[in-house]
Amino acid sequence: MRFNLPVVVSTVVLSLTSLVSGLGTSCSAPIGPGTAAPNDPYWLENIKHQGTSAFNSDPASYQVFRNVKNFGALGDGVTDDTDAINAAIAAGNRLTPAIVYFPRGTYLVSRPIVALYLTQLIGDAKNPPTLLASSNFDGIAVIDANPYIPGGGGAQYYTNQNNFFRSIRNFIIDTRLVAPERSQGTGIHWQVSQATSLMNIVFELSSAPNTQHQGIWMENGSGGFMGDLVVNGGKFGLWVGNQQFTVRNVTVNNAQTAVFSPWNWGWTFQRININNCQIGFDLLTGGTTEATQSVGAEAIIDADVNNTPIFIRSSAPSNGILAGSLVINNARLTNVQTAVGVVGGAVVLAGGTRTIASWGQGNVYKGTNANPTFTQGNINNPRKPSSLLDNSGKIFSKTHPQYANYALSQVISVKDNGAKGDGRTDDTAALQAIFNKYSGCKIIFFDAGTYIVTSTLTIPAGTQIVGEAWTHIAGTGNAFKDIANPRVVVRAGEPNSQGVLEISDIVFTTIGPTPGAIVVEWNIKQSYQGSAGTWDTYIRLGGAAGSNLESVQCPNSGAGGISNCYAAFLSLHIKPGATAYIEGLWAWLADHELDGDGSQGLLSLYSGRGILSESKGPVWLIGTGSEHHVLYQYNLVEARDHFMGLIQTESVCLLSD
């Protein structure tokens, strides 16, 4: 079984000097490297599971963390574990979040694993388990994130553009027992939207000449981020159509086509490696109406393509007009006959063994001139500050920290140390005490729940936070009500602080109305490249149970008024002296409710501002989005040295208008 995942930066062995200033009062020394024994399971498996869903109708009985073996899965590679796995996912009132955990092993499945809304499927990060499709596998994919309803005329479980909050990580997905000619040999049906991620997954597919297997199938949606993936074999590595997506660090080996895209509005591929395929990117182009829309924009940055006859092929020539824009930046080709071509054989850009510094096809706008010039050829290579690059000259990137080699003794629980997370108790003092005590020498595990903050909570340098099923930290109360005197809910680092600060799987939010809330202020400066950042961490404002900013208070008619429906002053403020590596963040002011059956719940909410950066860099905003804020979604003020790709926005959404 191949597991040759090219992790760009693995879990970082922490620099002793970088954390000294951030050591908590209980710390005699920095945390250092992980101390787990080779055969120990991933610490997440054995930590005490006491997380709750604060606004579930019965939070005491609802189980957030589910180990599939506790539901009857054996993981022996022989027993059909499909029913047990799906039972683990579906148990309880599944309008609330869950982690479904897979210990090491091989799990044989004969039908799709149905990944419900608000679900994280997580394998052992030390020894990723295998999901093995049986020879008689029947279904759309090994994992299905949005099933089609049988006899439903195309209806599905979820509206694709609203299929938020889901993640799959740490698996080998093997379809090689499925006959090559059967399209049921698909790894993941990933028809999703924002606040979603795939990471640390290897797909093993049939490499037979007649193979119909594919790693990922995505027909539409509005995403999203995926990264640290390997696909071996298949007809298609990725078959992907979606409004927008960011793909980072993906390797496709020995597929017929690495990436096929029937349509999109805009995708960014950063750090893609293609080896021994027939075609790298196969793009359906030329559609100019809503009914015929095809690929709108493709940006391919830092690619390595080896022994592949065609790097990029479009279905139709552009003929001197915009018919799908394409930008290639820093693509290194080895034994590639055609760099850019058209179905039928026309060569637009010759291949060979070469590096394409910067090449584009599409409309170029200059200054304030609204009239573009069509370009098909070399374009100016943008200046890339060295602070944004790694030692190879590529845009720096860093894998989602999972602390796989750390022992359970190196992790502490906030609920074991006085925090409640029940959505009612003021946890400000308890959380601040935990940070002050353990930052720098323990990984701080935020058990699932909603932790109320009524004054500014400061996360000191040296802190590493891991949430459980998107733990919520919610600002509320009088401190955040004055729009003329806005106050910070969560401060990431004191001003002028430097060191490590890592946050993953957390949702920052408010319980409104909170017109004076600056949800997150980011002050921390990295001590080494990428030491300060967030992964799978979101800012969600309104639209959820317990937010006090739902359709009952703030219907789309506007009857709730402005003062009662004000969710935030500013979502994220990156300060001038800060640096940040932010991957997958979505700063969303809700325009509809997340809970319920989807038949109602449109909202009129208000948030002043989305993401403001005054940083002098480096800042990486990889796969981020900001939606529905009134004044701006992104605002860069005297900022420098930022890499932003892809960024997604939607303008203010006042449904009463």
Q: In the predicted model, what is the mean pLDDT of residues 144-158?
A: 94
Closest by alpha carbon to 411, among 429, 438, 450, 437? 438
Phi, psi of 591 (to 5 degrees): -105, -5
pLDDT at 17 over 80: no
pLDDT at 290: 85
Residue with tokens 């092929």: 313
CA–CA distance, 227 with 532 (Å, rounded to integer): 19
Q: How confident is the model at residue 95 (pLDDT cuts 50, 70, 90)?
A: confident
pLDDT at 596: 63
The CATH number, out of the four listed (1.10.10.10, 3.20.20.450, 2.160.20.10, 2.60.120.10), of the domain defined by the range 408-650: 2.160.20.10
Q: Do 242 and 217 contact (CB within 8 A), yes or no?
A: no
pLDDT at 11: 35
pLDDT at 141 over 80: yes
Q: In the predicted model, what is the mean pLDDT of residues 210-218?
A: 98
DSSP per-residue letters across 40-92: PPPHHHHS------TTSSSTTT--SEEEGGGGT---EEEEE-HHHHHHHHH-S
Q: What is the pLDDT of residues 489-525, one digit of tens each?
A: 999 999 999 999 999 999 999 999 999 999 999 999 9
Q: Which residues pair with 620 in a beta bridge?
A: 581, 643
pLDDT at 390 over 70: yes
pLDDT at 605: 96
pLDDT at 219: 97
Sign, Cα dihedral of 385, 387, 391, 394: negative
Q: What is the pLDDT of residues 429-464, one digit of tens each?
A: 999 999 999 999 999 999 999 999 999 999 999 999
pLDDT at 13 over 70: no
Q: What angle do CA 470, 228, 272 make, to 5 degrees?
A: 135
pLDDT at 345: 80
Q: What is the pLDDT of residues 536-590, one digit of tens each?
A: 999 999 999 999 999 999 999 999 999 999 999 999 999 999 999 999 999 999 9
Q: What is the pLDDT of residues 42-93, one digit of tens each?
A: 999 999 999 999 999 899 999 999 999 999 999 999 999 999 999 999 999 8
Q: How far does CA 371 lie from the centroid of its chain?
A: 35
Q: Which residues contact 92 (CB under 8 A, 6 or more apart)?
A: 61, 62, 63, 98
One-letter amino acid at 239 equals: W
Cis, peptide link before residue 618, omega less than 30° from 0: yes
Cis, peptide link before residue 513, omega less than 30° from 0: yes
CA–CA distance, 206 with 187 (Å, rounded to integer): 11
pLDDT at 199: 98
pLDDT at 9 over 60: no
Q: What is the pLDDT of residues 284-299, one digit of tens each?
A: 999 888 889 999 999 9
CA–CA distance, 151 with 147 (Å, rounded to integer): 12
pLDDT at 157: 92
Q: In the predicted model, what is the mean pLDDT of residues 10-20?
A: 37
Q: In the predicted model, what is the mean pLDDT of residues 333-346?
A: 96
Bridging pattern class, strands 487-492 and 443-446: unpaired
Mean pLDDT of the chain: 94
Phi, psi of 284 (to 5 degrees): -80, 120
Domain ranges of the chain: 408-650
